Amino acid sequence: MFAKTPDPPYYAVIFTTQRTEGDNGYADMANRMEALAAEQPGYLGTESVRGSDGSGITVSYWDSLEAIAIWKRNTTHQFAQTQGRDNWYADYMVRVAKVERAYGRST
Amino acid sequence: MFAKTPDPPYYAVIFTTQRTEGDNGYADMANRMEALAAEQPGYLGTESVRGSDGSGITVSYWDSLEAIAIWKRNTTHQFAQTQGRDNWYADYMVRVAKVERAYGRST
């Protein structure tokens, strides 16, 4: 669950979503995108939760804005983004943020 | 589900948690803290999801680091923070981040 991020600063992409009804290929693509993201340069980790009402928050962490931009332009990811907008998400928000401070306890 | 945030920049507190077993007063306090946070100066909104495995992500949005600092020091909130560390969360991470870009579609 907890991403093993380095000391700040680094970047977070906060991806808030509301799923549509039915799977329609979503689960398979979500797994593929998580695996593909993890191979990208500058990827630091992901934390993701989905509730029983279809609401979800996925936060991916990156070492630079450039790494985020390259991942956004990835061809396979672009195909998934289009499917997401058209089929899988009733609504979605993406927020790109610079993590300035982090603390807590994770095992 | 979706926070109605203004145009960036603004700040996000990404609160990632793993709940312990049992309620132990958690649900009541979570509701109280959400209501109390919403009354604070500089509060912009919250997005929150918890999964069936007890993992959760809550992102609260604020207009300044000062607003976040004041909320962190709130006496009632400090009591909740102690309860969280001691009783409700097996693990938790707090990340404070500056939102630089936002886009999407929410109704």
Q: Say how many Å lie between the first and final Cα of chain B, rounded.
A: 10
Residues from chain A that touch B65, judged by Cβ atoms under 8 A, are 100
CB contact under 8 A, B97 and A57: no
Which residue from A51, A95, A96 is facing B50, i.e. has the nearest CB? A51
Q: How far separated are the first and last CA of chain A, in Å rounded?
A: 10
CA-nearest residue to A16 within chain B is B2
* pLDDT tens, position by position, B17-75: 999 999 999 999 999 999 999 999 999 999 999 999 999 999 999 999 999 999 999 99
Q: Is the pLDDT of residue B76 over 80?
A: yes
- Contact residues, B window 27-66, toward A, CB-based 8 Å cutoff: 47-52, 55-57, 59, 65
> Would you say A18 and A93 are in contact if contact means Cβ atoms under 8 Å apart?
no
R_g over Cα of chain A: 14
Residues of A within 8 A of B55 (CB-CB) are: 1, 49
The model's pLDDT over A34-65, given as tens digits with 9 standing for 90+, comes to 999 999 999 999 999 999 999 999 999 999 99
Q: Do A12 and B12 touch (CB under 8 A)?
A: yes
Q: Which residues of B touch A5 (CB under 8 A)?
A: 95
Quick check: B107 pLDDT over 90? no
Residue percentage of chain A with pLDDT more than 70: 100
**C-alpha distances out from residue A65 to A33, A96, B6, B97, Å:** 19, 8, 21, 14
pLDDT band at A103 (very low <50, low <70, confident <90, very high): very high
Tell me which residue of B83, B94, B67 sits closest to A106, measured CA to CA. B94
A3-24: per-residue pLDDT in tens?
Answer: 999 999 999 999 999 999 999 9
Q: Which pLDDT belongs to residue A107?
A: 75
Those residues whose C-beta lies under 8 Å from the C-beta of residue B41, and which sit 6 or more positions away, are B67, B70
Dihedral over Cα of A65, A101, B93, B76: its sign: negative
How far is residue A31's CA from residue A33's CA, in Å, rounded to a whole number?
5
Count of C-beta atoms within a 10 Å radius of residue B49: 23
Average pLDDT over residues B13-17: 98
Structure tokens at A64: 């630079």
Cβ atoms of A95 and B4 closer than 8 Å: no
Residue A92 with chain B: CB contacts under 8 Å = 104-106
pTM as predicted: 0.97
Mutate to test the interface with A, among B93, B100, B105, B107 (most CBs of A within 10 A): B93
Cα–Cα distance, B23 to B65 (Å, whole number): 31
In this structure, what DSSP letter does residue B63 have?
A: S
DSSP string covering B47-91, please?
A: EEEE-TTSEEEEEEEES-HHHHHHHHH-HHHHHHHHHIIIIIEEE
